[in-house]
Structure 1
Amino acid sequence: MTYTGDVTPGGPPAVRELDRLTVTKLSVGPMDNNAYLLRCNATGEQVLIDAANEAPRLLELVGDGGLTAVVTTHQHMDHWVALEEVVAKTGARALVHADDAEGLPIEAERLADGDTVPVGDCGLEVIHLRGHTPGSIALLYRDPAGTPHLFTGDSLFPGGIGNTDQDPERFGRLIDDVEAKLFGRLPDDTWFYPGHGKDSTIGAERPALPQWRARGW
């Protein structure tokens, strides 16, 4: 079945088989948060992006394969409700950018811009995107056999950047970082996976960048 990334709370996951990595996307309630389980096809090691909620469903998704780490994209509570339980039951490392670490319910290892989070033989580049929260991050997988894949948390969505509460300074930081670090570095065929809702590509969103900047949100 062709991967579309369309998932709904309580519904089945969407699975994307890449050459070296398998991406499984699951929506959890009550806020339609996306959680992503990444599995290295060579080693079987697994990493979860955002233990947002519904720990039993996330643990069922992990299955018997174990979990190496849980990466939290930012400190907002709807992205870590299940973090403590998932970490306790799997022994996984909790990872978050240093600037958002104080917002989590458990102690987590600090990440910085440019770090690499291993997923078996694969790696995720940490990209710090200031504005939605001080320590929001995206995670980039450069597929040697295909297009790049980008997990954006709540910093980039189809149709715009993340919420900055109508704060001009925060908006400026986020739009600048998204434009420079994502649109300025990545090709149009880069597929991105947001913290809520449907996926998109860099190329599909690129023409709207001037509009986003002009409207201020």
Structure 2
Amino acid sequence: MQIESAPMGVYQTNCYIVRSGGKELIVDPGVGATAWVLERVKNPVAILNTHGHFDHVWSNAELKEALGVPIYCPEGDTFMLEKDPFGQGTPPSRADVAVSPDEKVEIGGIACTFLHFPGHTPGCSAIALADEAGNEVWFSGDFLFKGSIGRVDFPYSDPEAMRQSLQKALAYPKNPTLLPGHGPRTTLEAEKRVIPYWLSAIG
């Protein structure tokens, strides 16, 4: 499995291309992601959204039209793709597959699990994949960053749900590499050292 990334738009939202078995997944195509993606993909099979915020889904519609691939989005956030709830002028898109919490899906022979960690948004998820050696990688979206967590003061955010999600992450038995929606990569083990602070900060 090979992973390529680039920060997109004013919010420097990481867009990822995952290559495995001759197929490609596009994760969180944000503002201005289309040209970058089209230059790099040869056999794309899907667009995956970790959650529905505009800076992660902006190029959904444009890429779907160009590539003819389905969009997978956590079911709790599909309304954000369609309704532009923050009034950002986000080009509307529609999830072809509304993924249930913690559901495992196979896309072009690539197994993905949408681990549900609500709080930042209702459907906020970390998309988990494993490489050829069995090492787990999470595309953690805006749930966990290096040293930080997703904000819980937006419309549709839920601080108590975030508390429960952080507890769920603390109990996770493996140590995946985390590829977040913003900023550099980290590991779950590293973030477990700071999660207690954020649990206290949420109150």
TM-score, with length taken from structure 1? 0.81
CA shift digits 1:118-167 (9 cap, x unpaired): 34433111111111111111111133514311111101111122100189
Aligned length: 190
Give the alignment of 1:49-68 within 5 angstroms. Answer: 49-54=27-32, 55-62=34-41, 65-68=42-45
Equivalent pairs: percent with the same residue?
Answer: 27
Q: Which residue of 1 aligns with 2:162?
A: 174
Residue of structure 2 aligned with 1:110, choices 92, 98, 122: 98
CA shift digits 1:140-199 (9 cap, x unpaired): 1133514311111101111122100189x822211311321x3312423x2101001111
TM-score, with length taken from structure 2? 0.86
Q: Aligned partner of 1:127: which letter?
A: L
The 8 Å contact of residues 70 and 95 in structure 1, kept in 2 or not, is answered as yes
Give the alignment of 1:196-215 within 5 angstroms. Answer: 196-215=182-201
- The reply to whether residue 26 of structure 1 matches residue 6 of structure 2 is yes
Q: What secondary structure, in the 3-state scheme, does the structure 2 residue paired with 1:36 have?
A: strand
The 8 Å contact of residues 67 and 91 in structure 1, kept in 2 or not, is answered as no
CA shift digits 1:73-105 (9 cap, x unpaired): 111111111111100000010111111111101
- Counterpart-to-counterpart distance in 2, 1:38 and 1:28: 17
Q: Aligned partner of 2:172: which letter?
A: R
List alignment gaps of at least 5 residues for structure 1.
1-20
- Counterpart-to-counterpart distance in 2, 1:162 and 1:122: 27
- The reply to whether residue 124 of structure 1 matches residue 112 of structure 2 is yes
The 8 Å contact of residues 27 and 49 in structure 2, kept in 1 or not, is answered as yes
* Structure 1 residue ranges (4+ consecutive) displaced by more than 6 angstroms after TM superposition: none
- The reply to whether residue 47 of structure 1 matches residue 25 of structure 2 is yes
Task: Tell me: CA distance 1:176–1:57, structure 2 relative to 1, closer, same or farther (3 Å).
Answer: same
Q: Aligned partner of 2:25: which letter?
A: V
Q: Which residue of 1 aligns with 2:84?
A: none
Q: Which residue of 1 aligns with 2:58?
A: 81
- The reply to whether residue 95 of structure 1 matches residue 72 of structure 2 is yes
List alignment gaps of at least 5 residues for structure 2.
82-91
Give the alignment of 1:154-165 within 5 angstroms. Answer: 154-165=142-153
